[in-house]
Amino acid sequence: MAGEPVTVETRGGVGIVRLDRPEARNALSPEVFEALGEAIDRFDADPGIGCIVIAGSDEVFAAGADIKAMRDRSFQDAMTQPSARFWPRLAACRTPLVAAVSGFALGGGCELALACDMIVASETAEFGQPEITLGIIPGGGGTQRLARVLGKQQAMELVLTGRRIRAAEAHELGIVNRVTREGEWLDAAVELAQLVARRPPIAVQLAKQAVLAADETALSAGLAYERRLFELAMATEDRVEGMSAFIEKRKPRFRGR
Ligand code: HXC
């Protein structure tokens, strides 16, 4: 009998959610989508958590949506099942998300990593959108996010062929922030997340919103939006603390206000 499909732990201001369904290569079943969404919502609502890491195991991040659960799904089912709700739920997370990828990140697994704000990958990681080989196309943002990051030509090749790319190529293409040696990927991701978690949390959330707006808006609207968010940051107690600490040559003590 399989246990909980995700496990959670915290490490120094970082919430870690790990997919744990090894018998199905961490395939994203409706239960996994629900459990993952719940864990992320809970960390996002926790003022003690400044960054969230989503991880799998050494062998696999996630092999995509659960093909066995999908095979008999009707058109109507596809519109209402948990994966349809999961992606907007993930996008609503204000806390920065780091994907820690080792092994396969395929289909919905690749899209889950791409939907995170940063990706740390083991040298053993392999990314790909194999949906085309199953007669479908990516449905969790893969076509849009790959085209924005890689450009149309490169994205088209990956989506039309289903070709997998290794961590080094993913890094060269700009999908991955850093590549680690085998076995060091989770610690490296948590270290990056802890660096973010030490920063003032309101400014972190505003900064995340500002960078994400770059994909959504024209430059002039994006610049105006950034300016409003900057002004909001100026209204926080933490920025008074941060600036005072700098001038007084001491460490700041941020309180999330
Ligand atoms: C359901 C899966 C699965 C998946 C693996 N399994 N991936 N079950 N959904 N996505 C199951 C297998 O059926 C098998 O079950 C067991 O896990 C072990 O898999 P193997 O293939 O034997 O393992 P291995 O040789 O290590 O190969 C690993 C792998 C391969 C390369 C990851 O399993 C694979 O290619 N998986 C499918 C990848 C894929 O096509 N993903 C896209 C899905 S569509 P049994 O019962 O035989 O032990 C998608 C759409 C997203 O993601 C839309 C938005 C949400």
User: Is the same domain home to 132 and 232?
Assistant: no
Residue 231 lies inside a defined structural domain of this protein: yes
Domain boundary among 173, 197, 221: 197
pTM exceeding 0.75: yes
DSSP 36: H
Residue 131: active-site member? yes
Given this model, what pLDDT does residue 81 score? 83
- To the query of whether residue 15 is one of the catalytic residues in this protein, the response is no
Determine the distance separating the centroid of ligand 1 and the alpha carbon of 54, expressed in angstroms: 19
Nearest Cα neighbor of 113 from 21, 176, 20, 24 is: 176
What single letter denotes the amino acid at residue 32? V
Tell me how far apart the alpha carbons of residues 12 and 14 are, in angstroms, rounded to a whole number. Answer: 6
Query: Whose C-alpha lies nearest to ligand 1, atom 38?
Result: 63
Statement to judge: residues 218 and 103 lie in one domain: no
**∠ Cα 128 63 84 (to 5°):** 90
The answer to whether position 254 is within a domain reads: no
Answer yes or no: do 18 and 54 share one domain.
yes
Name beta bridge partners: 36. Answer: none
* Same domain membership, residue 241 and residue 188: no
Domain final residue pick, 178, 197, 216: 197
Four-point Cα dihedral 158, 123, 6, 46, nearest 10 = -100
Q: What pLDDT shows up at residue 2?
A: 64
116 and 151 housed in the same domain: yes
Same domain, yes or no: 185 and 215: no
Q: Is residue 255 part of a domain?
A: no
Which candidate in 27, 62, 65, 99 is catalytic? 65
- Of ligand 1's atoms, which has the minimum distance to the CA of residue 24? 17
The first and second tokens of residue 43, run together, are: 């960390």
In a domain, residue 215? The reply is: yes
Whether residue 256 lies inside any domain: the answer is no
For residues 235 and 135, membership in a common domain is answered with no
Q: What is the per-residue pLDDT for 1?
A: 45
Q: Are residues 129 and 143 in the same domain?
A: yes
Q: Residue 244: which H helix or E strand, with range?
A: helix 237-247
Q: Which of 179, 197, 215 is the last residue of a domain?
A: 197
Q: Domain span at residue 163?
A: 6-197
On whether residue 257 sits in a domain, the answer given is no
Looking at the structure, do residues 120 and 152 belong to the same domain, yes or no?
A: yes
In a domain, 78, yes or no: yes
DSSP 92: T
Q: What are phi and psi of 52, to 5 degrees?
A: -120, 135
For residues 180 and 208, state if they share a domain: no
Where residue 212 sits, what CATH number does that domain have? Answer: 1.10.12
Q: Backbone phi, then psi, for 89, in 5-degree steps?
A: -65, -45
Looking up residue 34, the CATH number of its domain turns out to be 3.90.226.10
231 and 142 in a common domain: no
How many domains is the chain built from? 2
Residues with Cβ within 6 A of ligand 1? 24-25, 27, 63-68, 83, 104, 106-108, 130-131, 134, 138-140
The verdict on whether 210 is a catalytic residue reads no
pLDDT tens for the 257 residues of the chain, in order: 467 999 999 999 999 999 999 999 999 999 999 999 999 999 999 999 999 999 999 999 999 999 999 999 888 888 888 888 999 999 999 999 999 999 999 999 999 999 999 999 999 999 999 999 999 999 999 999 999 999 999 999 999 999 999 999 999 999 999 999 999 999 999 999 999 999 999 999 999 999 999 999 999 999 999 999 999 999 999 999 999 999 999 999 999 99
Phi-psi region of 20 (alpha: psi -120 to 50; beta: other; left: phi over 0): beta
**Is 1 within a domain?**
no
